[in-house]
């Protein structure tokens, strides 16, 4: 049985982050529905910020601490997150389109109902995440860890290198209830 054909994600349509104007952090508390467009955020903290239902377009985030950020039902389009700490974050019901996550730590994040289209996870820690009801289209995971993640069956259709599948085999075995023998 051969593997199904896979069409990889479309890259975010984003100018060079060096060409984007810098945004200052932290954002002032804002009502639900804040919009962040065409800017680069380098460093700083959005930890525990309530950005539910926010819209992000053409944004590059580099080394931003986002522990506990609330991005539930947010819309991220043409966004790049690089070396960001996004642990314990709430992205339930969020929509990601043409998003690249590189070297990010999402440990313990709530990704329930996440809709990801044209998304690339590269060297990301997805340990202990909850993927229940998430959906993925033209999404790839390269060099990612999934230890203790819930809802791994929702990764149907995600593209992974054979070596990454083997590296995650313990997590997949646990999700399927397979007992590993010595």
pLDDT digits (tens, 9 = 90+) for 89-123: 999 999 999 999 999 999 999 999 999 999 999 99
28 falls within a domain:
yes
Cβ proximity of 125 and 106 under 8 Å: yes
Name the nearest CA neighbour of 81 among 41, 134, 141, 139. Answer: 41
112 falls within a domain:
yes
According to the model, what pLDDT value does residue 45 have?
Answer: 94
114 falls within a domain:
yes
Global pTM reads 0.85
Q: Are strands 140-142 and 135-137 parallel, antiparallel or unpaired?
A: unpaired
Q: Which parts of the chain sit beneath pLDDT 70?
A: 1-7, 11, 14-32
According to the model, what pLDDT value does residue 13 have?
Answer: 73
Token pair belonging to 172 = 């997949």
Cβ proximity of 125 and 109 under 8 Å: no
Q: How many CB atoms lie within 10 A of CB 123?
A: 15
According to the model, what pLDDT value does residue 29 have?
Answer: 46
Tally of domains within the chain: 1
12 falls within a domain:
no
168 falls within a domain:
yes
DSSP run (H or E) holding 11: none
Report the length, in residues, of the chain: 182
Question: What CATH number is attached to the domain comprising 32?
Answer: 2.160.20.80
Token pair belonging to 45 = 């903290």
């Amino acid at each position: 049985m051969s593997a199904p054909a896979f069409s990889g994600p479309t890259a975010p349509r984003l100018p060079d982050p060096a060409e984007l104007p810098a945004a200052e952090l932290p954002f002032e508390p804002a009502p639900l529905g804040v919009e962040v467009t065409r800017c680069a955020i380098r460093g700083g903290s959005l930890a525990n910020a309530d950005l539910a239902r926010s819209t992000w377009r053409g944004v590059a985030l580099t080394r931003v601490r986002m522990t506990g950020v609330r991005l539930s039902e947010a819309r991220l389009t043409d966004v790049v997150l690089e070396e960001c700490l996004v642990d314990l974050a709430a992205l339930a019901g969020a929509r990601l389109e043409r998003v690249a996550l590189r070297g990010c730590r999402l440990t313990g994040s709530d990704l329930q109902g996440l809709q990801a289209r044209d998304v690339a996870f590269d060297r990301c820690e997805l340990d202990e995440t909850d993927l229940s009801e998430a959906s993925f289209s033209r999404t790839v995971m390269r060099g990612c860890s999934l230890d203790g993640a819930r809802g791994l069956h929702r990764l149907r259709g995600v593209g992974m290198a054979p070596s990454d599948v083997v590296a995650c085999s313990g997590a997949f075995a646990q999700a399927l209830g397979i007992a590993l023998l010595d």
